[in-house]
Structure 1
Amino acid sequence: MTESELIERFAALPVANVGDAMDRLNVVDSGIQSVWPSAGVRMAGRAVPVTVAGGDNLGIHEVIPTLEPGDVLVVNGQGATHRALIGELIAGRSMARGCVGFVLDASVRDAVDLEQMRFPVFARGTTPAGPYRNGPFQAEVAAAVGTVVVNPGDLVLGDDDGVAVVPWSRAAEVLLKAEAKHAAEMKQRAEIGF
């Protein structure tokens, strides 16, 4: 199975089923949620982690030119919510490179614009306050986001329930378990009658 086929199959599954398939581990804490005002967000792609100082987005600006189609930018923003690290302009530049979404342990802004762009963004909150751009930052190394360690190339999945991270080394195994869990739940739903 190719990488794109694997990601496509994961994208068709509820994140809850994927979390169940990993013994309910590697699920990002519920404080990090979709920033879209309405439902319907779905995201699946490869992790590009970066760690930045709280309230500072220099590292994000440095990483965006390296993004490739299918990437998800994952930002350890130290959980700081007093400054938005991204908005619709950064999202637009990332979309143009083929990035499929962001997960930030920090705040963002322009939530309505992000939804209108159909760009999935999961964050700890929103604020109109803009960021600083002084550094420091670390890129191309593991980053902790919402209590989950994300390595470069891991699979990052998001929907209206939240975010899960699948270590790349376990992706095939987790996919089969998650698909089986989803099939079992769909059978139960049919038996119940909904």
Structure 2
Amino acid sequence: MTARHVVVRTSKRVPQEILDDLRDAGAATVHEADGRRGALGPGLTPIQQGARIAGSAVTVSCHPGDNLMIHAAVEQVRPGDVVVVTTTSPSTDGMLGDLLATSLRSRGAIGVVLDAGVRDVAELREMGFPVWSRAVSTRGTVKASPGSVNVPIVVGGQVIRPGDAVIADDDGVVVVPHERAAEVREAARKRIAGEEAKRERLAAGELGLDMYRLRPLLAELGVVYRDES
């Protein structure tokens, strides 16, 4: 008989040097470099500004209004991990506050992505512990219902598995499957190099219309120029 609720112990992690490069590239660039895949959508917003992280996912599935399994997940966290939490039905209750964040940080977690609510926002900002959440809520949770840790979960229409790369910054959150992380890093590097060359051309005054060869497209779409008399 297969257990309905499990805590899976896993050593699957993306190598740190790859995570560092994905973090430096940023969520938007990684999203583009991976063929515009992996974005968790605009519903997850940061409670702070300027935070930029990339880590391997520790996934948590919780009952709505119950953070018991986040406490169970703390034990599975390794330095550099990002804890990604969802609930089995939509919830905006405050699943995480400063005490639980303190516990996660003690194990080396670098941030939390929370498909629910967060509270103690001022304290979390003062701690410098980054969180991306669905809502901010004064309403707390109980610790009574079973769930699972390190199983595949879905957030924002994206499947997130334990050990996948999670990149988060002011632009949002992106997930890259573990097996594609190295490939996406290389694609992101190439994209950054190309963007730097374009940035120099635009700074020198070249128009995007010409750099991207958009004038023929405008004509094809029927856009005409007219001088006002």
TM range (shorter): over 0.9
For 1:16, the equivalent position in structure 2 comes to 28
1:79 correspondence with 2:87: no
Structure 2 residue aligned with 1:139: 149
Contact 1:44 1:155 survives alignment (8 Å):
yes
Give the structure 2 partner of residue 29 of structure 1.
Answer: 41
Aligned pairs (5 A) from 1:26-105: 26-36=38-48, 39-77=49-87, 78-81=89-92, 83-105=93-115
In structure 2, distance between residues paired with 1:69 and 1:171: 18
1:162-181 equivalences in 2 (<5 Å): 162-181=172-191
- Residue 35 to residue 79, structure 1, CA distance change in 2 (3 Å): farther
Aligned residue for 2:78, secondary structure, equals coil
Asked if the contact 1:68/1:98 (under 8 Å) is kept, the reply is yes
CA distance in 1, matches of 2:186, 2:157: 25
Tell me, in whole angstroms, the C-alpha distance in 1 between the residues paired with 2:160 and 2:23: 18
User: In structure 1, how many angstroms separate the alpha carbons of the residues matched to 2:84 and 2:157?
Assistant: 13
Match for 1:7: what amino acid? L
CA contact (8 A) 2:74 2:104 kept: yes
Partner Cα distance (2:201, 2:148) in 1: 50
Displacement of 1:136 after TM fit? 2.2
Q: Show structure 2 runs of 5+ residues with no match.
A: 1-13, 205-229
Once the two structures are TM-superposed, the CA of residue 76 in structure 1 deviates from its matched residue by 1.0
Contact persistence 1:79–1:124 (CA under 8 A): no
User: 1:64-97 CA deviation, whole Å, 9 max, x = no partner?
Assistant: 122110111110124311x100011111111111
Aligned mates of 1:15, 1:123 — CA distance in 2? 16
Larger-gyration structure (1/2): 2
TM-score by length of 1: 0.93
Which of 157, 181, 203 matches 1:193? 203
Runs of 5+ in structure 1 lacking a partner?
Answer: none
Length-normalised TM-score, structure 2: 0.80
CA RMSD of aligned residues (A): 1.4
Identity of aligned residues (%): 38
- 1:7 and 2:12 correspond: no
Q: Determine the C-alpha separation between the residues in 2 that align with 1:146 and 1:54.
A: 16
Q: Show the counterpart of 1:112.
A: 122
2:33 partner amino acid: A
Contact residue 28 and residue 163 of structure 1 kept, 8 A? yes
- How much has 1:14 moved relative to structure 2? 1.8
Deviating beyond 4 angstroms after TM superposition, the runs of 4 or more aligned structure 1 residues are none
Alignment partners' CA distance in 2, 1:87 and 1:167: 28
String of CA shifts for 1:14-38, please: whole Å, max 9, x gaps.
21010001111111011011112xx
Q: What is the one-letter code of the residue matched to 1:92?
A: T
Q: Deviations over 1:111-146 (max 9, x none)?
A: 222122111111101011111211121112111112
